[in-house]
Every structure is written in structure tokens, then in C-alpha cells.
């Protein structure tokens, strides 16, 4: 667990270099348009494996409502009954509401896990929040559940992840 805390701190370290002199107002928050970024996180459960990922997405803000889509590539070493999940690719639809400089959202989508067992298709569902540090930089967190109904012929598998994320909006 000590190792995991260090990895999370390293992932959040770039935030220490962000200046507060460029404070953003709620009206300048970057919720419409394209963005990309990275995540560091943990699988929750027996193994507490570390995850690292890159994401790219597009949002559209209409009043206080934000709708969007995101693709995320996750590198990990999640242990299962049939072998290790080496990586996952997720396609997520996001819908949320803005309150001040914070976006609260829900996620639904699909995913594919890869490993020596082959490849398995499943679903993803979860929620998250992002805070606008500037007009082009946000930080946030996500809690996701990836589910597979028949994982490599061994029955159902559920993977829960908690991640910290940084995104650059352009």
C-alpha cells in the first residue's frame, strides 16, 4: 500500500507546478471542446494493482449540461483467474452538470481487455468529477466499474478502479 501511495503522489506532482495566478472563473471553464490527458489509479479489491492511462475526448456544453465522449487506453497488470489483464481500451459516453468550476458526470460505455488469455469485450459504468484550475487545465477523479459477463470462459468478472486524472483542453 505504501508503494501505491507513492505512485499516486507522483501522478499528482505536476499539479504542484500549476500557478493559481491564472485562476479561472466559472464562465471560463473549459468544458466545450477537445481534451487529452493522463490518469494514475488503483484497482480496488484483492489485488490493488496500479493502472496508468491516457485519455482523449470531446465535450459539448449546453447551459450547465455537458455531454461528451472519451477513449481511454489503460495499461495495468490486473490478476484474474485466467491470467493477467495487460491493458484495456474503453469507449465512454459522459453526461454531467457544471456547478461553479466543477463538472460532475456519469459514464457508460464499452471496453475491451487484452492479455495472454486473448481479448474480452465488456462494459464500463461509473462517475467522476473535474475541477477547472485554468481555462485549459483540469484535474479530477473517476470511479469506474468494468464488467465482463463471461471472462475467457471462466464466468463473470468485475474490475473496479479509482483514478486521479489531469486533462489539457484545447
| CB 35, CB 167: distance < 8 Å | yes
pLDDT at 16: 38
pLDDT of residue 79: 85
* Mean of per-residue pLDDT scores for the chain: 86
Which is higher by pLDDT, 10 or 55?
55
Residue 9 scores a pLDDT above 60:
no
pLDDT at position 56 over 50: yes
- Highest average pLDDT, of 46-50, 78-82, 105-109, 133-137, comes from 105-109
Which grid cell is 164? 486521479
Q: In this model, does residue 72 exceed pLDDT 60?
A: yes
pLDDT winner (highest mean) among 17-26, 75-84, 115-124: 115-124
Residue whose C-alpha cell reads 489503460 in the numeric block: 74
* Average pLDDT, integer, range 72-85: 90
Report pTM: 0.82
The residue with cell 479489491 is: 45
For the domain made up of 2-17+27-169, the CATH class stated in words is: mainly beta
Between 2 and 25, whose confidence is greater?
Answer: 25
Higher-confidence residue of 57 and 49: namely 57
Residue boundaries of the structural domains of the chain: 2-17+27-169
- What percent of the chain is modeled with pLDDT above 70? 83
Please list, in sequence order, all residues whose beta carbon lies within 8 angstroms of the beta carbon of residue 88, skipping any fewer than 6 positions away: 73, 74, 76, 111, 112, 113, 114, 146
pLDDT band at 71 (very low <50, low <70, confident <90, very high): very high
Amino acid at each position: 500500500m505504501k508503494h501505491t501511495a507513492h505512485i499516486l503522489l507522483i501522478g499528482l506532482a505536476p499539479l504542484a507546478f500549476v500557478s493559481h495566478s491564472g485562476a479561472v472563473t466559472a464562465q471560463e471553464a473549459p468544458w466545450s471542446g477537445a481534451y487529452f490527458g493522463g490518469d494514475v489509479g488503483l484497482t480496488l479489491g484483492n489485488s490493488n494493482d496500479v493502472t496508468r492511462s491516457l485519455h482523449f475526448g470531446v465535450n459539448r456544453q449546453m447551459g450547465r449540461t455537458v455531454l461528451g465522449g472519451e477513449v481511454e487506453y489503460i495499461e495495468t497488470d490486473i490478476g484474474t483467474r485466467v491470467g493477467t489483464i495487460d491493458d484495456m481500451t474503453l469507449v465512454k459516453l459522459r453526461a454531467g452538470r457544471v456547478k461553479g468550476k466543477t463538472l460532475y458526470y456519469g459514464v457508460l460505455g464499452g471496453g475491451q481487455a487484452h492479455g495472454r488469455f486473448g481479448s474480452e469485450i465488456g462494459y464500463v459504468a461509473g462517475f467522476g468529477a473535474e475541477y477547472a484550475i485554468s481555462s485549459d487545465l483540469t484535474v479530477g477523479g473517476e470511479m469506474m466499474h468494468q464488467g465482463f459477463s463471461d471472462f475467457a470462459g471462466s464466468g463473470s468478472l468485475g474490475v473496479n478502479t479509482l483514478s486521479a486524472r489531469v486533462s489539457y483542453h484545447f
